[in-house]
Amino acid sequence: MARLSGKTVVVTGAGTGIGEGTAQLVAAEGADVLLADINEAAASSVTDDLRQQGSNAEACHLDLADEGSIRAMIATALETFGRLDALVNNAAKTTLTAEDFGVENTDLRVWDETMHVNLRGTMLACKHALPALRASGGGAIVNIASGAALRGARGLTAYGVSKAGIITLGEYIAAQHGEEGIRCNTISPGIIITPKTYDAFGTPAQRNKVMPLMLSPRLGVPADIGAAIVWLISDEGAYVNGQCISIDGGQMSHQNYLMDALSGD
């Protein structure tokens, strides 16, 4: 039997990339799926594909900067499918990364907008999903953070800090709602090749630069994240709560960069 049969799952940022890959895997495991995205046309296109494959899917518009839009997303899931069993918070603000510098040079507008969408928006999605999960007898939330939340860097300060907040948010939700049968875990992806990240990491020249950082012989794809999400929200993941799981090909687990620097390589 499909692992998510009889469950309703909301996936945000489902029009492309990790969200799209997750929605496909969740649907393949038998779940009813609401695909939410600020680009509703993209979410609708993926929804049409899922329906052609025999899945029960619906699309809706989502603007994480607007609490009313978040509230409407949860209401749509309940009106369409009658229940909510899992929420996957994948959507995030990525259009400001070219302006996201070090602390001294980061414009307050970039900081505030990144925090408003990524951290505040994720918190609000959890807030409005919790009553629906409770009404279903419990459920699961998976929030998507980033490797940028786990280590410092010369840039992407606002993005990295917003994602670090998401990790801590997951721990607090787990602590506050675990006794109700509600689990909240976080995934921190490493380099995942999507249409948005291909130019940065996916071209042959860029791959040659980043592969020495990896322990895996390849870079990640959306299905690598989606497979973990399916496990976390299924009954197989029932004893996992309040955790942050890095899925990064081993990137964060070693320090080859330091050894190379010391050896002069």
Catalytic residue set: 159
**Stated length of the chain:** 265
For residue 231, give every residue at least 6 positions away whose Cβ sits within 8 Å of its Cβ, in sequence order, or none: 237
Going by C-alpha positions, the residue among 33, 60, 55, 30 that lies closest to residue 44 is: 60
Cα–Cα dist 110/131, whole Å: 32
Cα–Cα dist 100/20, whole Å: 26
Strand partners, 32: 8
Cβ atoms of 34 and 8 closer than 8 Å? yes
Cα–Cα dist 48/6, whole Å: 20
Going by C-alpha positions, the residue among 196, 106, 62, 254 that lies closest to residue 115 is: 106
**Residue listed under structure tokens 């993941």:** 237
Cβ atoms of 157 and 101 closer than 8 Å? yes
